[in-house]
Amino acid sequence: MTASAPAPSAIPEPDPAQRRKEQRGWYVYDWANSVFFTSVITVFIGPYLNALAQTAAEQAGTGEHVHLLGLTLRYDAVYPAATAVAVVLQLITLPLVGAVTDHSRNKKGLLAGFATVGALATTALYFTTGAAYLPAAALLILANVAYGASSVVYNAFLNEIATGEERDRVSSVGWGVGYLGGAVLLALHLVLFLNAGNWGLTEGYATQIGFASAGVWWLGFSFLAIKPLRNRIGPLAAHGGGPQVRTTLRTLATTLRELRKYPRTLLYLIAFLLFNDGVQSVIRYAGPFATGDLGLGQQDLISAILMVQFVAFGGALALGWLARIFGAKRTILASLAVWCVLVGVGLVIPAGDPVAFFAMAFFIAIVLGGSQALSRSLFSQLIPKGKEGEYFGLYALCDRGAVFIASFVVTLAVQFSGGYRMAIFSLIAFFVIGGVLLALTDVTRGIREAGNEVPAKV
C-alpha cells in the first residue's frame, strides 16, 4: 500500500477545523486495524492454530505434543508460545520503530508500510490448512510485529493532532471507533458461522475466510485513514534529515539514558507494562479459554465477543467522561479493581454455561476500552516534546508487545494444568502489582518534569 506523502510541514499547530479533520482520519485507522485483534487474535487464531497443531500431532503419532523451535509442547500451548516469540521480536524492533518515526519526514508512509505488511500476513493465513501449524505460527508472528509497529507510528500522531486537554477525549473516541469497526466485521463473521452448514462450508474454511476478510478490511480502510493525516518535521527529523541506522540507534540509546531524568514516566511505564500485560492476556486467551475449558462453541464465542465490542464502545466513552470529572489516573485505578474481580470470577465460572461467560464478558467490556484509552492519553502527557515516536515505541512494548511475561506464565499454566482456567486466574497478580505502582506514580509532577502543561484533571 502506498500513501500520498506531501512535503512535510513545520508550520504551527493547525487550526481547530484542520485538527478535527486529522482526528477523524486517525479514528479510522483504529476502525481499520482493530479487526485484527478482535476477529483474528481474540476469536479465530487461538482455536485454529491449536487445531492445526493437534492435527500435526495426530499425523506424527506423538500424542498431544508437537515441536516448535526445538521445544516439545502440548498442541494447545503452541498459540501462547507463538505469541511469546512475537513479543521477543517486538522487544527488539518496536523501540527502533519509534526512533525511526521521530527521525522520519514521512510518518504517513511508515504507517502505510507497516499496515500493509500486517494486513497481507493476516490475509495469508487463509492458505494455512491441515497440519500447517508452523506456517500459521510464522504468519501470526509477522502480523503481530507489523501490528505493533503500526501502532507505534499511529500513537505518535496523537500529540500532533490533539492538545493536552483534548487527548483523553480523542484517545477514548479512537478506541470506541475501533471497537465499532471490530464489531461490524465480527457481526459478518457471525453470520458466516451461523450459515456455514447451509452454504456448504466447514467451520475451518469459514475461519479461513475470516482471516482473509480481516486482512482486506485492515488494508482497505487504512487508505482512508492515512489520507487526511499530515507529515510534520519534528526536532529530530529537522536536525538529522531523515532516519539513518546509526543516528537512530544513537538517539534510542540517548532516550533510554534520559529516562532516568523522568522517573515518574519510567515508573508509569513499569506500572503500565504489568497491568496491561493482564488486560492483553485476557483478550488474547479468551478464545481458547471459552472453547477449550468451558466447552463453548465458536458461535457462542463470536456472539460474546460481538457483544463486548458494542459494550466496550460505550464503556470507552463512559470512562473518558469519568476521567474528565475524576482524572485519568483515578479512573484507571478503579477499572483495575474491576479487572481483579472479573479475573477471579473466571476461576469458578461453570463449564458449558454460556450465560455465565456472557455475563463475565459484559462487565469486562465496560472497563476494557476505557482503561486502554486513558492509559494511552495519560502517557502522552508524560512525553517530552519531539520524542513522541521513541517514547511510544517504549510504550508499545508494554501495550501490544510486552505480553512476554504474562504469555510465559500462561504457557506454563497451560502446560502443567492442562487448560486455561488457572492461567486466566494467575493474571490477577499483574493487575494488583501494576495498580499499586500506578497509585505510587505522581503523574502531575511527571507531566511538569516532561515540560508539558498539566491539564485540569489528571
Q: Average pLDDT, stretch 172-186? A: 89
Q: Average pLDDT, stretch 273-294? A: 84
Q: What is the pLDDT of residue 217?
A: 97
Least Cα distance to 293 among 76, 53, 2 occurs for 76
How far is C-alpha 7 from the chain's CA centre? 31
Using CA atoms, how far apart are residues 20 and 26, in angstroms rounded to an integer?
10
| Model confidence pLDDT, tens digit, residues 262-277 | 999 999 999 998 998 8
Whether residue 283 has pLDDT greater than 80: no
H-run or E-run covering 412: helix 404-417
End-to-end CA distance of the chain: 39
CB within 8 Å of 188: residues ≥ 6 apart: 213
Residue 7: band (very low, low, confident or very high) from pLDDT cuts 50, 70, 90? very low
Q: What is the pLDDT of residue 235?
A: 55
For helices 78-103 and 404-417, angle between their N-to-C axes, nearest 10 degrees = 180
Environment class of residue 97 by beta-carbon count within 10 Å: exposed (0-12), middle (13-18) or buried (19+)? buried
Q: Average pLDDT, stretch 418-424? A: 80
Top-confidence residue, 280 or 224: 224
Using CA atoms, how far apart are residues 392 and 151, in angstroms rounded to an integer?
9
Least Cα distance to 447 among 213, 164, 195, 196 occurs for 164
Strand 71-74 and strand 65-68: pairing? antiparallel
Would you say the C-alpha torsion 137, 174, 169, 446 has a positive or negative sign?
positive
Query: pLDDT averaged over the chain?
Result: 84
Q: Which of 5-19, 118-132, 296-310, 381-395 has the lowest mean pLDDT?
A: 5-19
Q: Average pLDDT, stretch 147-171? A: 87
Q: What is the pLDDT of residue 6?
A: 44
- DSSP assignments along 279-322, one per residue: HHHHHHTHHHIIIIIS---HHHHHHHHHHHHHHHHHHHHHHHHH
CB within 8 Å of 94: residues ≥ 6 apart: 148, 149, 152, 393, 394, 396, 397, 401
Q: Which domains does the chain have, with CATH numbers?
A: 23-233+256-449 (1.20.1250.20)
Give the best-scoring range by mean pLDDT among 119-128, 166-175, 244-253.
Answer: 119-128
Q: What is the pLDDT of residue 240?
A: 54
Q: Average pLDDT, stretch 50-67? A: 82
**Which grid cell sits at 273?**
507494562
Q: Average pLDDT, stretch 368-391? A: 85
Whether residue 4 has pLDDT greater than 50: no
CB within 8 Å of 164: residues ≥ 6 apart: 381, 452, 453, 455
Q: Average pLDDT, stretch 282-307? A: 82
| Model confidence pLDDT, tens digit, residues 82-136 | 888 888 888 888 888 887 887 787 889 999 999 999 999 999 999 999 888 899 9
Q: What is the pLDDT of residue 85?
A: 85
Q: What is the pLDDT of residue 246?
A: 62
Q: What is the pLDDT of residue 256?
A: 73
Beta carbons within 10 angstroms of residue 233's beta carbon:
16
**CB–CB of 423/410 below 8 Å?**
yes
Q: What is the pLDDT of residue 9?
A: 43
| Model confidence pLDDT, tens digit, residues 192-242 | 988 888 999 998 899 999 999 999 999 999 999 999 998 876 655 555 555
**Which grid cell sits at 38?**
478482535
Whether residue 2 has pLDDT greater than 50: no
Q: What is the pLDDT of residue 14?
A: 55
* Cα angle for residues 424, 427, 433 (degrees, 5° grid): 165
Whether residue 297 has pLDDT greater than 90: no
Which residues is 65 bridged to in the sheet?
74
Least Cα distance to 311 among 363, 262, 254, 383 occurs for 363
* Cα angle for residues 360, 366, 372 (degrees, 5° grid): 115
